Amino acid sequence: MSKKLRAAIIGPGNIGTDLLMKAMRSDWIEPVWMVGIEESEGIRRARDFGMKVSTTGVDGLVPHILEDDIRIAFDATSAYVHAENSRKVNELGVIMIDLTPAAIGPFCVPPVNLQQHAKHLEMNVNMVTCGGQATIPMVAAVSQVQPVAYGEIVATVASKSIGPGTRKNIDEFTRTTSAGIEQVGGAKAGKAIIVVNPAEPPLMMRDTIHCLTESEPDQAAITASVHEMVAKVQKYVPGYKLVNGPIFDGNRVTIFMEVQGLGDFLPKYAGNLDIMTAAGLRTAELFAEEAASGAIQLPTRG
Amino acid sequence: MNLTGKKVTLHDMSLRDGMHAKQHQISLDEMVAIATALDDAGMPLIEVTHGDGLGGTSVNYGFPAHSDEEYFSAVIPKMKNAKISALLLPGIGTVDHLKMAHDHGVSTIRIATHCTEADVSEQHIGMAAKMGLDTVGFLMMAHKVNTEQLLEQAKLMESYGANCIYCTDSAGYMLPDEVTEKIGALRSELNTATELGFHGHHNLGMGIANSLAAIEAGANRIDGSVAGLGAGAGNTPLEVFVAVLHRMGVDDGIDLYKIMDVAEDLVVPMMDQVIRIDRDALTLGYAGVYSSFLLFAQRAAQKYGLQARDILVELGRRGTVGGQEDMIEDLALTMSKGQ
């Protein structure tokens, strides 16, 4: 039996397609199904890649989950339909990786807390936001050294890389990211700012992370911790780059990052989208690795 | 130019845009004293917010001396006739801040986006309009797009529920002909009931000329700042503008001597630096860079041994937009490595 876990991707848009292309290269995940709600370009692309497709939503997938031994589902649709999608697949023992802002499960930022979620076999984990994936590891890198009273991030993304869903509810980005800075990053208080920039050619995603430490920052330890964390993220996002810093000014620690995507389906400047799909896939892979090693027991099936 | 008999609503920025020039450190007493004196001078609308709008309190933009809640609570009960407005930039502030402002008695809310990104304002404009607030769509850095693109974005904001649209010259880059063309197009294409506004910066010394052009082309709300206290070389200096309007027979309802005295007796004495077109502010206007970058670039230049002008020009070249203050230290570090 293959060690790979078989997966379905819900949402054949840009994110779903990029995720599919990454998953097809994975040693641990085998994408089998692409789920849409109608015939679409994304569905046709998935079919061309040899996927089974549903054009009737998750209901079209459900009857095949057991026979195709689907163990992982990625939801790349919207917060509005996520809860229902999750309920339907969870019932059949499928682990849900939520790339929408719904956040009904715990936040997952792979290098910080994925191990813990895998250990507890969380059946629904949420990937926070693009800005969260790019910055929370850095907040955590500082808070692992010493207490952070306040963590603030500024994510600047290319106008072309953010879709209508994010635009209609941009507050969701700031709220969810702030919560992630606190709950996963370990800052006592968190704040997130997003700036949309229309420059042509589109700018690479850039992120600034400011931490205010409770006591004087241990510069050497923080610098080492930041570099170590950058290396961890680079394992699944090779274009995650420390541009400047950490710089220290009193109790302020500031880190400047740039995120270049792999350019699978999404353009390279859209590092904000790439880091979401890469983090989602990394999460699924760790579940697969832990299941293969016997560290966790997947829900039993007849 | 004949503006005789026109009516305009002036909107003071000294307590919001002026927060940039004061690094957000205006005291409650100063806020109350200036707002009260402006109210007495007949100023109909006064903006009170962190320089970067509601929720702007941050490492990135600066922590203010007091929260927006504290400023509203101190100022609003003291107003006899003037209304208080607040600014909100989606991506920085949220609808929670909007509700807070409404609860504290703010009556005008201005939702600001970069001139190409109006569609991030739908939830905020929609909610403000639903609350019955005077709801303004504020298109920043309007020099970065052509008239047709600006009109398209203005129509989006109008469709979300804005009853007034601003053409905002955040960089103080525009010349009067551009203002005439843009405001003129908005006037002819937007609903006749939609009001139009112009917000200028004085980086090329065009604040007054541009504001007059805006009125001639159909704008009826004009932003300015008493004594010019604002980002960059400041906003259109209101006491000067009022004198010009009075000579031209425009009805603004302001007592000229009283507003002169607010400028001279209250605002100028509290300035941390003279608000003037120094070479760095001039560079903002010349290169088309967001005005509140000025002090950040000057500080970064000093810290890393660079010229503020060089940093500002590079920020312009890279197409930075309002809110990207974090880019300034990053860029200064990169530039200093290259030296």
User: What is the pLDDT confidence band of residue A165, given thresholds at 50, 70 and 90?
Assistant: confident
Do both B204 and B145 map to the same domain? Answer: yes
Residues 6+ apart with CB under 8 A from B129: B135, B160, B161, B162, B163
Give CA–CA dist B191/A145, Å, rounded: 58
Q: Are residues B131 and B184 in the same domain?
A: yes
Q: B320 and B248 in one domain? A: no
Q: Which residue in the set B90, B321, B330 is minimally distant from A208, CB to CB?
A: B330
Q: Are residues B83 and B162 in the same domain?
A: yes
Three-class SS state of B140: strand
Q: Compute how many other C-beta atoms are within 10 angstroms of the C-beta atom of residue B25.
A: 14
- Residue B186 falls inside a structural domain: yes
Asked if residue B177 and residue B42 are part of one domain, the reply reads: yes
Q: Look at residues B23, B31, B24 and name the one whose alpha carbon lies nearest to residue B12.
A: B31
Contact B128, B161 (CB under 8 A): yes
3-class DSSP state of A98? strand
pLDDT at A3: 87
* Partners of residue A175 in chain B, C-beta under 8 Å: 94
Structural domain includes residue B278? no
Is omega for the bond preceding A164 within 30 degrees of 0, making it cis? Answer: no
Encoding tokens for residue A136? 């929370």
Question: Which residues lie below 8 Å from residue A141, measured CB to CB, with a gap of 6+?
Answer: A222, A225, A226, A228, A229
- Return the residue of A nearest to B88 by Cα: A171
Residue in A150, A159, A174 nearest the CB of B116 = A159
Q: Say how far apart CA A172 and CA A78 lie, in whole Å.
A: 12
CATH number of the structural domain spanning residue B304? 1.10.8.60
What's the CATH number where B208 sits?
A: 3.20.20.70
Task: Copy the structure tokens of residue B269.
Answer: 């004495």
Instruction: Tell me, rounded to whole angstroms, the distance of Cα B42 from its chain centroid.
Output: 20
CA dihedral A105, A108, A114, A119 (to 10 degrees): -10
One domain, residues B132 and B264: yes
What is residue A1's predicted lDDT score, i.e. its pLDDT? 52
Closest CA to A190 of A179, A205, A202, A201: A179
Residue B205 falls inside a structural domain: yes
CB contact under 8 A, A244 and B91: no
The dihedrals phi and psi of B142, each to the nearest 5 degrees, come to -65, -10
Contact assessment for residue A86 and residue A96, using Cβ atoms and an 8 Å cutoff: yes
Closest CA to B158 of B200, B108, B196, B211: B196
| List of residues 6+ apart from A288 with CB closer than 8 A | A3, A4, A5, A28, A29, A71, A72
The encoded tokens of residue B16 equal: 């919001």
Q: Are residues B103 and B184 in the same domain?
A: yes
Partner residue facing B120 (CB), from A196, A203, A252: A196
Listed residue (A284, A302, A300) closest to A3, CA to CA: A284
User: CA-based Rg of chain B, rounded to a whole angstrom?
Assistant: 18
CB B229 within 8 A of CB B23: no
Residue B279 in domain: no
pTM: 0.96
Residues of A in contact with B95 (CB under 8 A): 171
Residue B68 lies in a domain: yes
Token readout for A18 is: 């990029």
Tell me the ipTM for this assembly.
Answer: 0.96
Chain A residue numbers with beta carbons less than 8 Å from the beta carbon of B323 are 154, 193, 195
Query: Could you tell me which chain A residue has the CA closest to the CA of B324?
Result: A195
> For residue B110, what are the domain limits?
9-270
pLDDT digits (tens, 9 = 90+) for A62-86: 999 999 999 999 999 988 899 999 9
Report if residue B281 sits inside a domain.
no
* B70 CB-near residues (< 8 Å, 6+ apart): B28
Task: Please give the average per-residue pLDDT across A219-225, as a whole number.
Answer: 98
Rounded to the nearest integer, the mean pLDDT of chain A is: 96
Answer yes or no: do B109 and B251 share one domain.
yes
Q: Would an 8 Å CB–CB cutoff place A221 in contact with chain B?
A: no
- Strand locations in A132-236 (E): 148-158, 187-197, 205-213
Candidates B157, B145, B234, B156; CA nearest to B182 is: B145
How many Cβ atoms are within 10 Å of B272's Cβ, its own excluded?
10
Query: Residues with Cβ < 8 Å from A13, sequence gap 6 or more?
Result: A42, A76, A163
Contact B324 A164 (CB under 8 A): no
Q: Would you state the pLDDT for residue A127? A: 97
Q: Are residues B43 and B179 in the same domain?
A: yes
A37-42: average pLDDT: 96
Q: How far apart are CA B126 and CA B119, in angstroms?
A: 11
Give the 3-state DSSP-derived string for B23-90, with helices as H, strands as E and coil as C: CCCCCHHHHHHHHHHHHHHCCCEEECCCCCCCCCCECCCECCCCCHHHHHHHHHHHCCCCEEEEEECE
Domains of chain A as residue ranges with CATH: 5-127+277-292 (3.40.50.720), 130-267 (3.30.360.10)
- CA A64 to chain B, closest CA, distance in angstroms equals 39
Q: How far apart are CA B277 and CA B284, in angstroms?
A: 10
Tell whether B85 and B185 lie within a shared domain. Answer: yes
Q: What is the pLDDT of residues A97-138, one digit of tens each?
A: 999 988 999 999 999 999 999 999 999 999 999 999 999 999
Of B318, B310, B317, nearest to B335 by C-alpha is B310
Up-side HSE of residue B313: CA atoms within 13 Å toward CB?
11
pLDDT given for residue A301 in this prediction: 83
Q: Report pLDDT digits (tens) over B98-148.
A: 999 999 999 999 999 999 999 999 999 999 999 999 999 999 999 999 999
Per-residue pLDDT of chain B (339 residues; tens, 9 = 90+): 999 999 999 999 999 999 999 999 999 999 999 999 999 999 999 999 999 999 999 999 999 999 999 999 999 999 999 999 999 999 999 999 999 999 999 999 999 999 999 999 999 999 999 999 999 999 999 999 999 999 999 999 999 999 999 999 999 999 999 999 999 999 999 999 999 999 999 999 999 999 999 999 999 999 999 999 999 999 999 999 999 999 999 999 999 999 999 999 999 999 999 999 999 999 999 999 999 999 999 999 999 999 999 999 999 999 999 999 999 999 999 999 987
Residues 6+ apart with CB under 8 A from B53: B86, B87, B88, B89, B92, B93, B112
pLDDT in tens, A183-212: 999 999 999 999 999 999 999 999 999 999
| Cβ contacts of B159 within 8 Å, gap of 6 or more | none
Please give the tally of structural domains in chain B. Answer: 2
Tell me how close the Cα of A6 comes to any Cα of chain B, in angstroms.
37
Nearest to B296 by CA among B258, B332, B339: B332
Residue with tokens 């070479």: B279
Question: Exposed/middle/buried for A4, CB within 10 Å: 0-12, 13-18, 19+?
Answer: middle
Pairing of strands B221-224, B9-12: parallel
Whole-angstrom distance, CA of residue B227 vs CA of residue B260: 8
Measured distance between the N- and C-terminal CA atoms of chain B, rounded to whole angstroms = 51
Q: Is residue B277 part of a domain?
A: no
- From the list B60, B318, B333, which residue is nearest A152 (CB)? B60
In which band, very low, low, confident or very high, does the pLDDT at A302 lie, cut at 50, 70 and 90? low
Interface test with B, best of A195, A204, A248 (most B CBs within 10 A): A195
A278 close to A237: Cβ distance less than 8 angstroms = yes
Question: Does B91 map to a domain?
Answer: yes
Minimum-distance CB partner of A198 among B59, B117, B122: B117
Which chain B residues have a beta carbon less than 8 Å from that of A203?
318-319
Domain match, B25 and B152 both: yes
- Per-residue confidence (pLDDT) for residue A262, from 0 to 100: 95
Q: Do A208 and B60 touch (CB under 8 A)?
A: yes
The pLDDT score that the predictor gives to residue A180 is 98
On whether any CB of chain B is under 8 Å from the CB of A245, the answer is: yes
Measured CB to CB, residues of chain B less than 8 Å from chain A are 58-60, 90-92, 94-96, 114, 116-117, 119-120, 122-123, 144, 318-324, 326-327, 329-330, 333-334
Is B192 in the same domain as B321? no
Using alpha carbons, list the distances in angstroms from residue B285 to B141, B231, B327.
11, 12, 19
Determine whether the interchain pair A200/B319 forms a contact, defined as Cβ–Cβ distance below 8 Å: yes
Please answer whether residues B308 and B298 qualify as being in contact, where contact means their C-beta atoms are separated by less than 8 angstroms.
yes
Residues of B in contact with A212 (CB under 8 A): 59
Chain B hits for A178, Cβ within 8 Å: none
| Contact criterion met (CB < 8 Å) for A208 and B95 | no
